Amino acid sequence: MATEQRSWERFDRRRRISRFALLLIAGVTVIASWRFMDTGIVRPETIPREVGDLLTRMYPPDVAYTTQIVQPLIETIQIAALGTLGALVLAIPVALLAAENTTPNAATFWLGKFIVTTSRSVNTIIWALFFVVLFGSGPLAGAVAIVFRSVGFLGKLLGEEIEEIDFGQVEAVRASGASQAQVLLYGILPQVKPAVVGLSIYRWDINIRDSTVLGFVGAGGIGVELFRAVNAFAWQSVAMVLIVILGVVVVTESLSAYTRGLVR
Amino acid sequence: MAAGNRTWERPTVFPRRGVKWAVYAGIVGFFVWSGFGVGADPGRIAQGLGSAASLVGDFLPPTATPRQAQRILDKMLESVAMAMVSTLTGIVLSVPIAFMAAENLSPKPLYAINRGFISISRAFNAIIVGIIAVKAIGFGPLAGILTITFKTVGFFSKLLAEDIEDIDMGSVDAVRAVGASPLQTLLYGVVPQIIPRFAGLSVYRWDINIRTSTIIGIVGAGGIGSVLLTAFNRYDYQYVTAILLAIIAVVLVAEGVSAVVRRRYN
């Protein structure tokens, strides 16, 4: 008696075909994209040489330049800090609107969603372009740009935290005769406080990175120095600025990770 | 025996109360100092927001002549194309780097080098990388591709390496125990465990790359950003609004696609 031949296959026929089709579409899209861009002047094979050339011009970094970038660096850190603080203040009401369980009605819910989405879809640098028009160039425009960019991020994530709270506690506070403000203060806030602290620190970390480029559109910070050095082809100074930014970002990231570990 | 007076205090992260208030005072002081440093006096903010109200009129309604609309379309396609190509190149370069940056598979020195590269890539904003790429290889989308590829590698290999570190080493050992070569171990022991995350991460990064490619043109690295900056510099604010609406639309579509695909894979 012949034994039955059984074979095992990971995917059935239909899934195999759909997987193949998806890969094909992706491949065609990438090739079409490359053709579309028609990058004429520079051939890709020259890239390693060009980049290598740039790196040799950057070495050694101009250490004496450090004294000039301390002040802009401090300004960058200040922009990030104020931007995060401002965003947090604005994000709490936005989060309450954008959370399904605390928003008063459908209209306010969509208002909250609208604020969150718009803020997040517009990059910091575009917000900065806008506020430089309003406030004139300088760090104030940068700080306000950071605020408007961060509101969406904080509002969205805080809103999600608020949607997950235990509503029993809120009702308990309300049942004891608390006013609206008291319900917020004793029913909701204590439950999301760790998230508020953690998310703000996380966003502050991102804002430090973002505020390093604000200077390109005239919104203050270390980007101003970097832009100036690049335009003057002072590559050794550029290298120094980059090293300083790298240092600050690495320190910020570790500080942020450590502090978030504490509140978690 | 006197019953002890018991009080309850909310648990806090600070070991001592004095430390807590010192930290709070330090933070408040820092913010006040920052306020002065940035020049954020309430009068100036109020004035700026006041002029915002009148300026909003200049931005509305969004308008674009047929030629401008054509330009938005062309440059937007360029942005999307840049994102497509550099997502692919970025992911291809990320795979070996991710394997070398995973603590459980890679020898210590290799691990350190690759982690260092990842930190560097992540530390610099795309705009900074873009400006250097433009100086190195000239204006145009190639500089953009180079920039986004570089940023993708840092992001993608960091997250992929973390996934590799979380895999079940038991199945890797099992593959090795049947006599597989190192390459086969990687292919049959490690790869199948990370494929689903790999797909999700790729789409997520593609989404981010679309966003980045819409602004990188501000420093001359191709895409719609260049049109935006020119329009701003010409005070052509209604055209600016039209461009911004186009950017927001593309970003939202990309985010939607990315969310749908990731839900299917996770």
**pLDDT for A193:** 86
Interchain CB distance below 8 Å, B34 and A131:
no
Q: Is the pLDDT of residue A1 over 60?
A: no
Task: Work out the minimum CA distance from A4 to partner chain B, whole angstroms.
Answer: 27
Are the beta carbons of A182 and A152 closer than 8 angstroms? no
CA distance A120 to A155: 10
**Is residue B9 included in any domain, yes or no?**
no
Q: Which amino acid is at B238?
A: Q
pLDDT 10s digits, A26-64:
888 888 888 887 765 556 677 777 778 888 888 887 777
**Is residue B16 included in any domain, yes or no?**
no
CA distance B110 to B152: 20
Residue B180 class from Cβ within 10 Å (0-12 exposed, 13-18 middle, 19+ buried)? middle
Q: Which long-range contacts (CB under 8 A, 24 or more apart) does B226-233 make?
A: B226/B75, B227/B71, B227/B72, B227/B75, B228/A126, B228/A129, B229/A129, B232/A129, B232/A133
Are the beta carbons of B55 and A134 closer than 8 angstroms? yes
Facing B81 at nearest CB: one of A37, A131, A134:
A37
**Is residue B49 included in any domain, yes or no?**
no
User: pTM of the predicted model, to two decimals?
Assistant: 0.83
Determine which of A54, A57, A79, A133 to mutate to test the interface with B (most B C-beta atoms within 10 Å): A133
pLDDT 10s digits, A216-225:
888 888 888 8
Contacting residues of B for A245, CB less than 8 Å apart? 123-124, 128
**pLDDT for A55:** 82
Q: Which amino acid is at A213?
A: V
Please state the CATH superfamily assignment of the domain spanning residues A63-262 in this structure.
Answer: MetI-like (1.10.3720.10)
**Is residue B105 included in any domain, yes or no?**
yes
Determine which of B93, B115, B142, B234 to mutate to test the interface with A (most A C-beta atoms within 10 Å): B142
**Is residue B260 included in any domain, yes or no?**
yes
The stretch A168-195 carries a mean pLDDT of: 85
Buried b (16+ CB within 10 A) or exposed e, A74-101: ebbbbbbbbbbbbbbebbbebbbbbbee
Q: Give the count of alpha carbons within 13 A of A248, CB side only.
A: 28
Specify the DSSP element, H or E, that contains A79: helix A66-98
Say if A251 is an interface residue toward chain B (CB within 8 Å).
Answer: no
pLDDT confidence tier of residue B265, bands split at 50, 70 and 90: low
Which CATH number does the domain housing residue B213 bear? 1.10.3720.10
CA distance A58 to B262: 41
Give the count of domains, chain B: 1
Facing A133 at nearest CB: one of B55, B136, B138:
B55
Are the beta carbons of A126 and B244 closer than 8 angstroms? yes
Contacting residues of A for B51, CB less than 8 Å apart? 134
**Is residue B96 included in any domain, yes or no?**
yes
> At what angle are helices A106-121 and A66-98 packed, to 10 degrees?
160
- The range of the structural domain enclosing residue B253 comes to 71-264
The predicted complex's ipTM stands at 0.81
**Is residue B97 included in any domain, yes or no?**
yes
**pLDDT for B3:** 58
Say if A145 is an interface residue toward chain B (CB within 8 Å).
Answer: no
**pLDDT for B32:** 86
pLDDT 10s digits, B136-166:
888 888 888 889 999 999 999 999 988 888 8
**Is residue B36 included in any domain, yes or no?**
no
pLDDT confidence tier of residue A251, bands split at 50, 70 and 90: very high
